[in-house]
A and B are shown apart, each in its own frame.
Chain A
């Protein structure tokens, strides 16, 4: 085991760096740029029962140190993911992948998770109960402890692989929701999904984004993410994956000190397709600088 390695729910990762869902497709497009086997793993594009086109365009708005997206879970649906995307991924990625799942009903979540649980390359299921961009689904499950717990129970009943619940920051008490997920049998928590945001085009006097609101991500949200990772990781016994605005090796270390076992990187991939590779290459140097022998030693060192 190298000094960057961490254990995520029984699977050893070479390093804690994980491209976040929705910023890395199904992996193979980034494999044209570099060998994606350097990654700890990655979380693939949020997958639903049926194919989805997503929201109307414009779906993207720029912000200071960040961006808003309102893609709305565009994906080819679980059948096509299994028949088309995963075989392409297998050719360029020889590690376990994290399957990101979204739904519009408890049954949807259970169905898609059960299907993906049967795929050999899937190492973990990341259940997204926090997408801010779809109505009647996604975030509505992640904003109440009872609804989130119900999804967790339904998914756990039909799967064998570790279930990680991806939580929304758009709630009054994220700790209560994390605890409810833990009590319902979740194996891990990942957070934060995007913050609900909005921009107005003052020349045209209308929202920049066709769907009006969207998910705000990027370095601007990093302090919010660190705070929530700290709060949740100190309140639950299951591992926490930290994400939200991570853009450098220093950010990875900060997130881990706050309590994260592994770290997802999202928006940064969109402005620098080599971001994760650079961060992994940079980690040993930054660890030396801060006298960190092994990354696993710093997880949650902040009391």
Chain B
């Protein structure tokens, strides 16, 4: 973990309420795809945890959805402004289990952390399939970015306005060696049930600190109690306990 000041170099809307922010700063603590950062915002007490979409040199890319006060404030910021950011939080995805043909499944604002993962898996020369699930065509983002990496991309929309009609699980099939997923919990649960292989899933929880101090985001797993922010957010399929 590292605390440092980042300077915004770009902050642009991708859809009605999803934004991409690119920042320049010390990214040395970011060691894995699937990690997150925790951002301090003026006038708000708790930091805001946002998953890392990409990290290249000293440029950090975040894609976030405006869901409350913090993200609304982020969306109003402009290039040149600075943010106090804790970086290198969480465990991130373990690439060593991917096999020959990993499948990446993202739902809505769960899509961004899969981008850096896809990039790393492609760099290893693997065939990577990606399923991106959205409610409707106007909410789609990042599709071209995954395609540009050379991933085989399928988009699903709940209303059928683009791509395959239905949920991500309707496009999963059986041709993959391992899966990685991030998205809303009902989607994770559906993927868990539909999946034919082992895999890793990234979870969300309301956090206090984001670095393991407050025990605010704990969950039970088959391998013991875990803090989503510290031993997570990525869990292995085999250790997950679903609570109703």
Taking Cβ atoms with an 8 Å cutoff, the residues of A that contact B are: 22-25, 29-30, 32-33, 45, 53-54, 56-67, 69, 71, 74, 218-219, 267, 269-274
B1 contacts partner chain A, Cβ-Cβ < 8 Å: yes
Give every chain B residue within 8 A of A59 (Cβ-Cβ).
206, 208, 215-218
Contact of B213 among A62, A63, A67, A269 (CB under 8 A): A269
B25 contacts partner chain A, Cβ-Cβ < 8 Å: no
Q: Which residue of A lies closest to B2 (CB)?
A: A33
Interface stretch among B38-46, B138-146, B160-168? B38-46
Cα–Cα distance between A23 and B216 once the two chains are bound (Å): 10
- Whether B206 contacts A270 by the Cβ 8 Å rule is no
B96 contacts partner chain A, Cβ-Cβ < 8 Å: no
Further pairs besides A25-B213, A29-B213, A45-B215: 14, Cβ < 8 Å? A22-B215, A23-B209, A24-B213, A57-B205, A57-B216, A59-B215, A60-B46, A62-B45, A71-B218, A74-B225, A218-B45, A270-B46, A272-B3, A273-B209
Q: Which residue of B lies closest to A58 (CB)?
A: B206
Binding site secondary structure of chain B: loop
- Whether B215 contacts A29 by the Cβ 8 Å rule is no
- Whether B45 contacts A25 by the Cβ 8 Å rule is no
- Whether A53 contacts B218 by the Cβ 8 Å rule is yes
- Whether A270 contacts B209 by the Cβ 8 Å rule is yes
B64 contacts partner chain A, Cβ-Cβ < 8 Å: no
Give every chain B residue within 8 A of A58 (Cβ-Cβ).
205-206
Taking Cβ atoms with an 8 Å cutoff, the residues of B that contact A are: 1, 3, 40, 44-47, 86, 205-209, 211-220, 225, 243
CB distance from A233 to the nearest CB of B (A): 28
Q: Which residue of A lies closest to B47 (CB)?
A: A271
CB distance from A208 to the nearest CB of B (A): 8
- Whether B218 contacts A29 by the Cβ 8 Å rule is no
Q: Which residue of B lies closest to A59 (CB)?
A: B216
10 A-B pairs in the complex with CB atoms less than 8 angstroms apart: A29-B211, A56-B243, A57-B218, A59-B215, A60-B216, A66-B45, A67-B208, A74-B218, A270-B213, A273-B211
- Whether A64 contacts B45 by the Cβ 8 Å rule is yes
A29-B211, A53-B220, A269-B213 as given contacts; A62 in contact with B46, CB under 8 Å:
yes
Cα–Cα distance between A219 and B45 once the two chains are bound (Å): 9
Residue in A54, A60, A65 with the greatest tally of chain B CB atoms within 10 Å = A60
Contact of B45 among A33, A57, A71, A271 (CB under 8 A): A271
Cα–Cα distance between A57 and B207 once the two chains are bound (Å): 10
CB distance from B240 to the nearest CB of A (A): 15
Give every chain B residue within 8 A of A45 (Cβ-Cβ).
215
Residue in B86, B209, B215, B218 with the greatest tally of chain A CB atoms within 10 Å = B215
Give every chain B residue within 8 A of A271 (Cβ-Cβ).
40, 45-47, 209
Give every chain A residue within 8 A of B215 (Cβ-Cβ).
22, 45, 54, 59, 71, 74
- Whether A33 contacts B1 by the Cβ 8 Å rule is yes
Q: Which residue of B lies closest to A65 (CB)?
A: B45
Cα–Cα distance between A270 and B205 once the two chains are bound (Å): 16
Q: Which residue of A lies closest to B1 (CB)?
A: A33
Cα–Cα distance between A49 and B59 once the two chains are bound (Å): 48
- Whether A273 contacts B3 by the Cβ 8 Å rule is yes
Contact of A30 among B3, B45, B213, B214 (CB under 8 A): B213
Give every chain A residue within 8 A of B206 (Cβ-Cβ).
57-61
Cα–Cα distance between A64 and B43 once the two chains are bound (Å): 8
Give every chain B residue within 8 A of A54 (Cβ-Cβ).
215, 218
CB distance from B26 to the nearest CB of A (A): 15
Cα–Cα distance between A69 and B225 once the two chains are bound (Å): 18
Cα–Cα distance between A272 and B38 once the two chains are bound (Å): 11
CB distance from B235 to the nearest CB of A (A): 14
Give every chain B residue within 8 A of A71 (Cβ-Cβ).
214-216, 218
Cα–Cα distance between A207 and B217 once the two chains are bound (Å): 17
A71-B216, A270-B213 as given contacts; A63 in contact with B208, CB under 8 Å:
no
A69-B208, A273-B209 as given contacts; A22 in contact with B40, CB under 8 Å:
no
Give every chain A residue within 8 A of B208 (Cβ-Cβ).
59-60, 67, 69, 270
Give every chain A residue within 8 A of B217 (Cβ-Cβ).
57, 59-60
CB distance from A62 to the nearest CB of B (A): 5
Give every chain B residue within 8 A of A53 (Cβ-Cβ).
218, 220, 225
CB distance from B108 to the nearest CB of A (A): 17
- Whether B3 contacts A274 by the Cβ 8 Å rule is yes
CB distance from A210 to the nearest CB of B (A): 10
CB distance from B184 to the nearest CB of A (A): 15
Cα–Cα distance between A60 and B219 once the two chains are bound (Å): 14
CB distance from A219 to the nearest CB of B (A): 8
Cα–Cα distance between A270 and B229 once the two chains are bound (Å): 13
CB distance from B214 to the nearest CB of A (A): 5
Residue in A29, A58, A62 with the greatest tally of chain B CB atoms within 10 Å = A62
Cα–Cα distance between A67 and B208 once the two chains are bound (Å): 8
Residue in B3, B45, B205, B207 with the greatest tally of chain A CB atoms within 10 Å = B45
- Whether A67 contacts B45 by the Cβ 8 Å rule is yes
